[in-house]
Amino acid sequence: MAVTDMIASHRSRRGFSIIELLMVVAVGATLMALGTPVLRGAMANQRLRAGAADVGSALSEARREAFRTSTSARIEVDPADGRISVFAWDSVANAEAERKRYYLPAGVQFNNVGAVTSFTFDTLGRPAALPMTIQLRLANTTVIRTVSVLGTGRTTET
């Protein structure tokens, strides 16, 4: 067989060899093995940030309701089920009513709250008592985010 015949038969071959396919699968598996823990950690941190944002939103909403209705408003956190409820005065019912309810994302829990706890804003939207801080953490880790309310009523997140 001539060299030109061997080159021609080699060029007419279609597809990939099993070795080439196994190499691609091995490289893909290695990349997945290296990337999965990083992705999992990033997703957990995003859930923690989302939980802190929900707490901040609840605090801001309670502050706005207190200022808007010229009555006190509060949020209530329940560590048992990760619930965050906003309560404000309802002039129609002439009683305090729950305005909105949030839940912490899966894997996020309150860190410094042991039982159902209320955080109240006065009629001017200022915290009734300082310090007003709520810490959240990822379950089984030491990663913590803190949501604080300043004396002016402004919410900060660290």
- Across the strands, what pairs with 118? 76
Record the tokens describing residue 141, joined without a space: 């880790």
pLDDT tens, residue order, the chain (158 aa): 565 555 555 555 678 889 989 999 999 988 888 877 777 778 888 999 999 999 999 999 999 999 888 899 999 999 999 999 999 988 888 889 999 999 999 889 999 888 888 899 998 888 988 888 999 999 888 889 999 998 888 888 88
Q: How many of the other CB atoms lie within 10 Å of CB of 139?
A: 10
Please give the Cα distance from 102 to 84 (Å, whole number): 5
In single-letter form, the type of residue at position 74 comes to R
Q: Which helix (DSSP H) or strand (DSSP E) does residue 145 occupy?
A: strand 144-149
Cβ contact 139:107 at 8 Å:
yes
Please give the Cα distance from 110 to 130 (Å, whole number): 18
In single-letter form, the type of residue at position 42 comes to A
Domains of the chain, with CATH numbers?
Answer: 19-157 (3.55.40.10)
Cβ contact 71:88 at 8 Å:
yes
Cβ contact 51:83 at 8 Å:
no
Question: pTM score, two decimals?
Answer: 0.74
